[in-house]
Amino acid sequence: MATSEQRHGRMRDGREPSEPLTQDDIVRQLDAAILEHLHWMLRWNRSAVCKVQPAGDITSEHAHFLCGFGNWYDLHQQDPLIAQPAFEALALAHRDLHRNAAWLAGRAWKDAKIPVEEYDVLTEKVTRFTDLARKLLKAFQKVTSDLDPLTGAHTRQTMTRELMRERERSLRSGKPCMLAMGDLDHFKQVNDTHGHQAGDMVLRLVAAAFLEALRPYDRLYRFGGEEFLFCLPDVTPEAAAQALERLRRRIEEMQVPIGGGRTIRVTCSFGIASLSGETPVKTAMQRADKALYAAKEAGRNRVMIWTPEIG
């Protein structure tokens, strides 16, 4: 069902139809949906109790499209963050709620009394929708709190604990796990020459390339500034170096738009160390950082694996 917002190329939330959602967008929308349906239920009750004809958005057969959440979901349901079973369940509960409310509202303002059991069914549907929305909101809030808002990489808040868990898994399974430090070369010059907005664009697009290249069970952390840490389970040092070399070339070939029709090129250096065996997490991170420093010293824009000689 195409809406006027889609036909005119812009959505009710102000986003372009092709613009992907962020975790923060979803948190804001779910929070708004809960409040919206609280006010909606008050309007429904006012009509039923005061015997006032309900508004059309309550009684319409398309009522679930006429509220903010329904319109938003209809426009964004193909977005990768929305196309999941939990959101499908929420959308079904939402549609069921509005259909039942529309049917009952048509009688409630006219009849002297509606059966208690029919009103109880409606309140159960409202409660189900609200409970599902709150569970989803809580889940996305938890994810959002651990994501860097600029790059989408994980923050350092839970990094050490997660790396310790990966090290223990590597010890149990006997499979290798690699850490890699990646750092943009001459990033200060980007900020000094083109401004911090250009620097933010570089970080955003480079991080997007990092995330796109990762496997589902890899992890990316924004370690600080323009420095990122990769956790790469079940991979040898040589295989990790090959994967990062491909990523290095991809970054080298990117043309980053910085406004005014201008683009710039950037490069990145990487250092790799093993998280396997008896090596503590802190030591593995220090080794990856030393390998990164060696890559910088060797001329930047390259991948290096830690060896005792580097240490």
Tell me what the mean pLDDT of segment 227-250 comes to: 96
Is 118 part of the annotated catalytic residue set? no
Instruction: Say if residue 128's pLDDT is above 50.
Output: yes
DSSP 251-272: HHH--EEEETTEEE---EEEEE
Long-range CB pairs of 296-299, under 8 A, 24+ apart, other chains included: 296/183, 296/185, 296/269
Q: What is the pLDDT of residue 145?
A: 72
Give CA–CA dist 307/121, Å, rounded.
Answer: 68
Instruction: Please give the DSSP secondary-structure letter assigned to residue 177.
Output: E
Least confident of 19-28, 177-186, 272-281: 19-28
Across the range 237-241, mean pLDDT stands at 96
Active-site option among 61, 226, 278, 309: 226
Section 10-37 average pLDDT: 73
Average pLDDT over residues 143-168: 85
Residue 255: per-residue pLDDT: 93
C-alpha dist (Å) from residue 33 to 13, 73, 132, 227 = 13, 11, 11, 37
Residue 157 · residue 33 · CB < 8 Å: no
Mode of pairing for the β-strands spanning 268-274 and 177-184: antiparallel
**CA distance to 121, 160, 166, 237, 272, per residue, from 173 (Å):** 52, 20, 10, 17, 21
Quick one: pLDDT at residue 19?
A: 59
- Per-residue pLDDT for 16 more than 50? no
Distance separating alpha carbons of residues 234 and 219, to the nearest angstrom: 12
The reported pTM is: 0.60
Averaged pLDDT score across all residues of the chain: 89
Q: Is the pLDDT of residue 154 over 70?
A: yes
Beta carbons of 5 and 19 less than 8 angstroms apart:
no
What was the pLDDT predicted at 34?
95
